[in-house]
Structure 1
Amino acid sequence: MEIVRAHELSFLYPGEERPSLDGLSFTIKEGEFVVLCGPSGSGKTTLLRHLKRELTPVGEGSGTIYYKGTELPLLPPETAAGEIGMVFQNPEAQIVMETVWQELAFSMENLGLSPSVMRGRLAEMAGLFGLEPLLYKPVHELSGGQKQLVNLASVLLLHPRLLLLDEPTSQLDPVAAREFMYLLRRLNEELSMTVILSEHRLEEALPLADRVLLMEKGRIAADGSPRGIVRAAGSGLGEEHQAYLPAASRLFLALSAAAAGPHGTIPLTVREGKRWLESAAGALSYWPGPGASPRAHKPSRARETLLECREASFRYEKDGPEILKKLDFSLHRGELTAILGGNGAGKSTLLQLMAGLLKPQRGRAAMPKGVTAGYLAQNPLLYFSHDTVSEELRHMAKHAGLSASEGEREVASLTRAFGLEGVLGSHPHDISGGEQQKTALAMVLLLRPDILLLDEPTKGLDPGAKEHLAELLQALTEDGKSVTFVTHDVEFAARYASRCALLFDGSIAAEGTPDAFFGANYFYTTAVNRMVRDRLPQALTVEDVIADWQNFVSRS
């Protein structure tokens, strides 16, 4: 039985020339697990907002959406609010109450549920999500990942039949993201809850999906099973779409192409990828050998310290727990440093301390005289106060003290670098999450800081945008800047960082080059490393394995 049907759905935001949705027609069956993927600005968020009636954006639209055979606008309010739930990309945008307890109870109170029913549901959900220690905490003290878990729990307390999720794992650490995804699968399998999930991080999502919709420019470019999408990406769909696939699938396509033809069943998970490599070793005449060469590193230059934390300790309240404990950490010129760690470990606090926005109660965080720092927070909406993206960039250039001509050149250069040409006339709140992230980063870069501190900069970015961001950050380090970013995106850190650090229990627990750092970790490592680490322990990416295979072939 179908639960959602869209017929010729189109939508145009005010002032835009290209529609965000362009004649979409599709059907989703009850109980399906559907993954939406595609470039930033392809229409994923706009489509999800149309499926949640209360969030339909303002603009010019046409076409019809049906929920269980009834046109969406004709549903009773309690049905639309209770049976269709949505978790936003930005957790801050969904929270309205002061404490976790109040936030969880708020949605149930709005539906008029009795106190006994509310307490029963809340007890069950708090136990499922492990929220008991957080129930009486102020929401503003939670990490971004904890807020996202509260948002999901708030939605599930209404017992929805259709669950819509917009980049829900973007602020979750790798372990929490994996648990979050499998929780969604449990809800889907055990309750037959229909799930429509928009994601750029498909490593965990794609193997769980029944169906994948790949969107481009407001249209559905491909619709099929996960393996069908992998097969299409490897044949006629285009190489640029391979970046959306799980690492096991990308390795399958890359090695199969190098060896002139696919061999075996397409793998989607680490386990399937490892088994495929073992079974295909004969056909490929290759399997990574023990003691293979480590990844090549750029020669290190003299490391000039631009910022130094020495025994820095910080707590938000006088009698509260210490978030940072006698932490020692330094930033150096020309380095691209990634800071990883679990949700609530204090990564954002450390970044704000290094930016000078917070002061340590003990110890110090100091920069040499004349060194400047620029800071990008997790929520890009904090940076917007004007009506268009163009105005935001021009006002920031003026604030940075650039002359009119110099400002225009800088704005034009950053606009090209981030691919923002198509949204310059748009309101910052109307563009996609990835485009908001790129706009906010461009604004920070206009300040020309010596140290760039970024909190989850890849959040909401598609694979192509991440590659462009990496090129820009690497160019900044080549120019002598120090760039440090907090991230849960292990793949991005492994591919591009020159140094990685793990924050745990208020201090830096481990740090080193990506191959040494990730090669020693069990969960905080890449999917490729988990597949081949027994024989190629320092390989982190598909490219590392392909390079080893090419070396193997050249030696044979």
Structure 2
Amino acid sequence: MALLEITDFTFTYPDNTERTLDGVRLAVRQGEFVVLCGPSGCGKTTLLRSLKSELAPVGRREGELRFMGKPFHEHDPYALARHIGIVQQDPDNQIVMEQVIGELAFGLENIGVPTEAMRRRIAEMVHFFGMEDWLYRSTSVLSGGQKQLVTLASVLLLQPRLLLLDEPTAQLDPVAAKEFLQLLRRLNEEFGLTVIMTEHRLEELLPMADRVVVLGSEGRIRYDGTPRGLAGKLADGEMGEYFDYMPSLVKLAVSLEDQGRMPSGPGDAPLLQQRLPLSVKEGRAWLDRCLPAVHDREADAPRKNVRQPWSGGANDGAAAAVKPLLECQGVHFRYDKSSPLIVKQLDFAVCTGDFTAIVGGNGAGKSTLLQLLAGLLRPQLGTVKLAGKRMEAVKEQELRERIGYLAQNPLAYFLHDTVGEELQRALRRSRHPDALQRMQALIERFGLQPLLAKHPHDISGGERQRAALACVLLAGPEVLLLDEPTKGLDPVMKQSWGSLLEELHRDGLTIVLVTHDIEFAAQYAKRCAMLFDGAMTALGPPSSFFSENYFYTTTINRIVRDRFPEALTYKDVLDQWPIPVSLSP
């Protein structure tokens, strides 16, 4: 008997004629690790929230949800709340207490667990998660990764049978994301916890999943099976629209076979049909078999730079004479006198024409740096300059016109009921001489016409990002500062967003973004920087910056760096892949 059964489940939001979910049928057995993926707006979050009665969305529903053999409505609400736990994308929306210890105890107190049992459960969980050193810290000062662990621990303290996770790594740096996923794997394998998780970044997740369920944009299940089976369908030419959702290694192997460049031995089926590699370990073995001679022949050959060469910047000695557009000199910043320095002795410059990605751990100060560059925060020590002028001497109107800033949450930019009204508000604020023509051009360029009459809360995350960016660009800024612009975007939207930024950069816009998305930074940025311990600790072009890192690099680079040291994406490897040779016996 399945632990969870979903039968012909259909859901429609109020005042909406289109179904968000349409006839979903799914059975999940005890102990399975299920990854739920699909394009933004396909209903993944709606489905997860429908399985958590306290968070179930309001709307018209049909079909049946059964848990442990009984319909949801026949379960005791308190028992169901204990047995089904959920970790949401943004931990700040789930944490309610001021201290970590209080947050851990909150759920247990609400279901009436005796004090002695509560202390025993918390002690065990704290040891398991390694939280001893920050048990009495304020939850507001925790990093994003720590907050996500507190949220997960507080849910697990209720000893659920089923754990639901809605893009839990979206706000985590690469190291924290890996640790979080490995922890989930331990819980699944060692304790038999059933997991259903939605996620867009599948590089690390697919190798550990038992099943993948793909929801289509129409709200129906398009695929339900093993990760390798999904990759096989792509290799066979099926479900091509989901090519971008697959790990880079699968995209490389499928592309090689499509181009007739996959080697095979006498009497052998193409390697792709034998076993598609999903993990780094499998990928290295696959590469050893595909290119056994390349390593011997080219191991000592000089590196070939496959990436676009770095044009330099104010932080490069060869370009020291270039006058920076934005500059930090000896900057120190803390949010209050009792808190530690977030930024200290920071020197950093952005020149006209730069396209820079800033990476670093959760809590490293990346968002703070971006707000300092935007003039939204003022340092306690040091100076921030715009075109050589101290930021405090620049008038607010000039700041708005010359610097465009897009925060992590685009909803912060919307005050009106429709996207069209919001653009009109931005138009009235703009002093650009061709503001009206500019607005019309942005609407067409960003594909906003179908969204003008819609409420900002009723459109997808990618659509909100485009609409908010259009409002920011109406002022005609010289530099665009972006804080986690790809958070919550599916792979197709992410590529569209990256292409849009490339187009804006070609038009002369200087771009600085902070991100945890290493693949995105490697593909689109021209310069990368790492913020650590309050200062810049590394800076350079993507090809050398990422190829010299162990954690802060792409999955493809981990696999191929012995042969193609500066290759960061599967397309880089395709560019260097040799003429096919026969496989060794």
Aligned match for 2:503, one of 472, 475, 485: 475
CA contact (8 A) 1:281 1:287 kept: no
* Residue of structure 2 in register with 1:211 after alignment: 211
* Residue of structure 2 in register with 1:124 after alignment: 124
Distance 1:153 1:423, change over 3 A: farther
Q: Secondary structure in 1 aligned to 2:186? A: helix
Distance 2:406 2:137 in 1: 26
Distance 2:548 2:25 in 1: 48
CA contact (8 A) 1:498 1:514 kept: yes
Distance 1:398 1:73, change over 3 A: farther
Aligned match for 1:464, one of 466, 486, 492: 492
Distance 1:445 1:138 in 2: 38
Distance 2:257 2:297 in 1: 13
Distance 2:85 2:566 in 1: 43
Q: 1:490 deviation in Å? A: 0.6
Distance 2:69 2:430 in 1: 55
Aligned match for 2:277, one of 267, 277, 280: 267
Query: Superposition pairs for residues 534-549 of structure 1, below 5 Å?
Result: 534-549=562-577
Q: Is the deviation greater in 465-474 or in 202-211?
A: 465-474
Q: Secondary structure in 2 aligned to 1:188? A: helix
Distance 1:374 1:119, change over 3 A: farther
Q: Deviations over 1:487-511 (max 9, x none)?
A: 1111111111000001111100001
* Residue of structure 2 in register with 1:341 after alignment: 360
Query: Superposition pairs for residues 51-450 of structure 1, below 5 Å?
Result: 51-217=51-217, 218-259=219-260, 262-263=270-271, 264-281=274-291, 290-297=301-308, 300=311, 304-368=323-387, 370=398, 372-400=402-430, 405-406=436-437, 409-410=440-441, 412-413=443-444, 415-416=446-447, 425-450=453-478
Identify unmatched segments of 5+ residues in structure 1: none
Q: Secondary structure in 2 aligned to 1:204? A: coil
Distance 1:404 1:480 in 2: 18
Distance 1:449 1:134 in 2: 42
Q: 1:404 deviation in Å? A: 8.8
Distance 2:474 2:80 in 1: 44
Q: Deviations over 1:37-91 (max 9, x none)?
A: 1111111111111111111112222111111122123321112211111111222
Distance 2:352 2:95 in 1: 39
Distance 1:102 1:365 in 2: 40
Distance 1:259 1:305 in 2: 48
TM-score, scaled to structure 2: 0.88
Distance 1:99 1:361, change over 3 A: same
Q: Secondary structure in 2 aligned to 1:40? A: coil
Q: Is the deviation greater in 90-99 or in 323-332?
A: 90-99
CA contact (8 A) 1:334 1:477 kept: yes
Amino acid at match of 2:360: G
* Residue of structure 1 in register with 2:557 after alignment: 529
Distance 1:448 1:340, change over 3 A: same
* Residue of structure 1 in register with 2:38 after alignment: 38
Distance 2:177 2:120 in 1: 27
Distance 2:132 2:464 in 1: 34
Q: Is the deviation greater in 131-140 or in 195-204?
A: 131-140
Distance 1:27 1:392 in 2: 43
Q: How many residues align?
A: 550
CA contact (8 A) 1:437 1:460 kept: no
CA contact (8 A) 2:443 2:470 kept: no
Distance 1:170 1:479 in 2: 30
Q: 1:422 deviation in Å? A: 6.0
Q: Is the deviation greater in 447-456 or in 215-224?
A: 447-456
CA contact (8 A) 2:294 2:563 kept: no
Identical-pair percentage:
51
Distance 2:64 2:435 in 1: 47
Q: 1:382 deviation in Å? A: 2.9
Query: Is structure 2 residue 6 aligned with structure 1 residue 6?
Result: yes
CA contact (8 A) 2:295 2:563 kept: no
* Residue of structure 1 in register with 2:391 after alignment: none
CA contact (8 A) 1:146 1:344 kept: no
* Residue of structure 2 in register with 1:454 after alignment: 482
Q: 1:287 deviation in Å? A: 8.8
Q: Is the deviation greater in 75-84 or in 486-495?
A: 75-84
Query: Superposition pairs for residues 509-528 of structure 1, below 5 Å?
Result: 509-528=537-556
Distance 2:422 2:412 in 1: 12
Q: Deviations over 1:192-234 (max 9, x none)?
A: 1110110010011111100001111211111110000001122
Q: Is the deviation greater in 471-480 or in 482-491?
A: 471-480
Q: 1:279 deviation in Å? A: 1.3
Distance 1:135 1:358, change over 3 A: farther
Identify unmatched segments of 5+ residues in structure 2: 263-269, 313-318, 388-393
Q: Deviations over 1:357-401 (max 9, x none)?
A: 221110011213545222222233433433344444443444446
Q: Secondary structure in 2 aligned to 1:85? A: strand
Q: 1:447 deviation in Å? A: 4.0
Distance 1:524 1:236 in 2: 33
Distance 1:137 1:119 in 2: 18
CA contact (8 A) 2:83 2:159 kept: yes
CA contact (8 A) 1:306 1:332 kept: yes
Q: 1:535 deviation in Å? A: 2.0
TM-score, scaled to structure 1: 0.92
Amino acid at match of 2:410: P
CA contact (8 A) 2:310 2:541 kept: no
Q: 1:455 deviation in Å? A: 1.4
Distance 1:161 1:423 in 2: 41
Q: Deviations over 1:406-435 (max 9, x none)?
A: 47515623541xxx6666555434544444
Distance 1:464 1:159, change over 3 A: same
Distance 2:230 2:296 in 1: 26
Q: CA RMSD in A?
A: 2.6
Amino acid at match of 1:524: Y
